[in-house]
């Protein structure tokens, strides 16, 4: 591609200057190298573009048509290349980020700060439950809990670890005994949670260094914390959440927290991306801000 552009630049320079020597000086080439470039282009096209003598150079009829038709396209290519090169220095363009719903909420303050600092940037933040291949689906960055980040990605911690919370509605607890330990839980009364990678969550319990994973077997399986929250509020059973998703419900008395001394911290969110060369200024600036906030 680069060799083809150089050949087109050579045609325009010779047409403009009417001389191989003058065109070669403009392009920073030797006259011999320029002659060889044109010879290769003419051989590929199967048409002579220039009439050459020892004293003069002129475009053939085919050459005039070729130069006239390629000039606008070449100008567009130059403009496009300059615009892209400018992104190395000035953050501009669009960043696409894929996150879980909770991850989207976690990164939103960072995104807003970034946009305020870089008025030529746009951010497309897509939240969804499934764990996507960010490269195949055209995203620049992903945000998921650290333990769900694909191993071939570069990960940057985003925020502190979060606590879990096991909760039930007061009305449900009025009809069922309150568990004092994970052993008291009835698996059939516990909502099942599907993780973004498709696996079912085994509720992680831990106390005094003793881990006790628990397998819920409730009739309802969900992959959206908002749906799980609504189900628990409706009396569907016991749910296992990230604390932030139900903190207001607990504070308002709409939910009762259970087994608080058994619920460990979960890994915090990570910002992740594939290794890449020649990253845009916008991408680099966003990572720099994320690293700065992570270290604050």
Contact call for residues 250 and 167 (beta carbons, < 8 A): yes
Residues in contact with 173: Cβ distance below 8 Å, sequence separation at least 6, in sequence order: 256
Q: Where are the domains of the chain?
A: 2-86, 93-160+268-295, 162-266
Residue-wise pLDDT for 173-203, tens only, equals: 999 999 999 999 999 999 999 887 788 999 9
Domains 93-160+268-295 and 162-266 share a fold: yes
| Tokens coding 208 | 């005094």
- Domain 93-160+268-295, second-level architecture: 3-Layer(aba) Sandwich (3.40)
Per the model's pLDDT, the better-predicted residue between 18 and 254 turns out to be 254
Residue-wise pLDDT for 29-47, tens only, equals: 898 999 999 999 999 999 9
The most confident of the ranges 23-27, 66-70, 246-250 is 246-250
CATH level 3 topology of 162-266: D-Maltodextrin-Binding Protein; domain 2 (3.40.190)
Residue-wise pLDDT for 136-183, tens only, equals: 888 999 999 888 898 899 999 887 777 889 999 999 999 999 999 999
Q: What share of the chain is helix, strand, coil (3-state, %, to 5)?
A: 45, 20, 35
Buried b (16+ CB within 10 A) or exposed e, 61-93: eebeebbeebeeebeeeeeeeeeeeebeeebbb
Give the confidence band of 279 by pLDDT, cuts at 50, 70, 90: confident
Mean pLDDT of the chain: 88
CATH level 3 topology of 2-86: Arc Repressor Mutant, subunit A (1.10.10)
The residue ranges of DSSP E strands in the chain, in sequence order, are: 50-52, 57-59, 93-99, 121-127, 141-145, 154-158, 162-168, 192-193, 206-207, 210-211, 221-222, 239-242, 256-258, 265-266, 269-273
| Tokens coding 104 | 């989207």
Query: Could you write out the DSSP letters of every residue in 89-115?
Result: TS--EEEEEEE-HHHHHHHHHHHHHHH
State yes or no: pLDDT of 256 exceeds 60: yes
Q: Report the percent of the chain where pLDDT is more than 70.
A: 95
**272: three-class secondary structure by DSSP:** strand
Q: What's the whole-number mean pLDDT along residues 237-256?
A: 94
State yes or no: pLDDT of 232 exceeds 70: yes
State yes or no: pLDDT of 220 exceeds 90: yes
| Distance between CA atoms of residues 257 and 251, nearest Å | 10
Q: Quick one: DSSP state of residue 121?
A: E
Q: Which pLDDT does position 221 carry in this prediction?
A: 95
Best CA proximity match to 275, nearest among 151, 144, 95, 127: 151
Contact call for residues 154 and 273 (beta carbons, < 8 A): yes
Q: How far is CA 142 from the centre of its chain?
A: 5
Give the confidence band of 1 by pLDDT, cuts at 50, 70, 90: very low
Beta-carbon count within 10 A of 245 CB: 19
> pTM score, two decimals?
0.58
Give the containing element (helix H, strand E) for 153.
none
Residue-wise pLDDT for 204-219, tens only, equals: 999 888 888 899 999 9
State yes or no: pLDDT of 3 exceeds 70: no
**190: three-class secondary structure by DSSP:** strand
């Amino acid at each position: 591609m680069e060799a083809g552009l150089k050949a087109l630049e050579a045609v325009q320079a010779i047409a403009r200057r009417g001389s191989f020597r003058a065109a070669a000086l403009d392009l920073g080439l030797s006259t011999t190298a320029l002659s060889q470039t044109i010879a290769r282009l003419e051989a590929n096209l199967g048409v002579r573009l220039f009439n050459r003598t020892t004293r003069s150079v002129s475009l053939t009829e085919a050459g005039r048509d070729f130069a006239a038709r390629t000039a606008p396209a070449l100008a567009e290519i130059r403009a496009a290349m300059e615009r892209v090169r400018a992104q190395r220095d000035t953050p501009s363009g669009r960043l696409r980020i894929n996150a879980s719903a909770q991850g989207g909420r976690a990164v939103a303050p960072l995104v807003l700060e970034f946009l305020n600092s870089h008025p030529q940037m746009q951010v497309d933040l897509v939240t969804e439950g499934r764990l996507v291949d960010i490269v195949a689906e055209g995203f620049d960055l992903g945000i998921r809990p650290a333990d769900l980040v694909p191993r071939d990605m570069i990960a940057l911690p985003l925020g502190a670890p979060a606590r879990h919370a096991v909760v039930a509605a007061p009305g449900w607890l009025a009809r069922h005994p309150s568990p004092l330990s994970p052993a008291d839980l009835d698996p059939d009364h516990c909502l099942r949670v599907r993780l973004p990678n498709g696996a079912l969550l085994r509720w992680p319990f831990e106390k005094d260094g003793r881990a006790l994973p628990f397998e819920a077997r409730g009739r309802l399986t969900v992959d959206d914390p908002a749906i799980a929250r609504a189900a628990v509020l409706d009396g569907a059973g016991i749910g296992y959440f990230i604390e932030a998703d139900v903190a207001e419900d607990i504070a308002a008395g709409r939910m009762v927290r259970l087994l608080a001394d058994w619920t460990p911290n979960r890994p915090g969110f990570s910002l992740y991306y594939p290794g890449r060369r020649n990253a845009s200024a916008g991408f680099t600036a966003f990572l720099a801000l994320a690293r700065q906030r992570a270290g604050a």
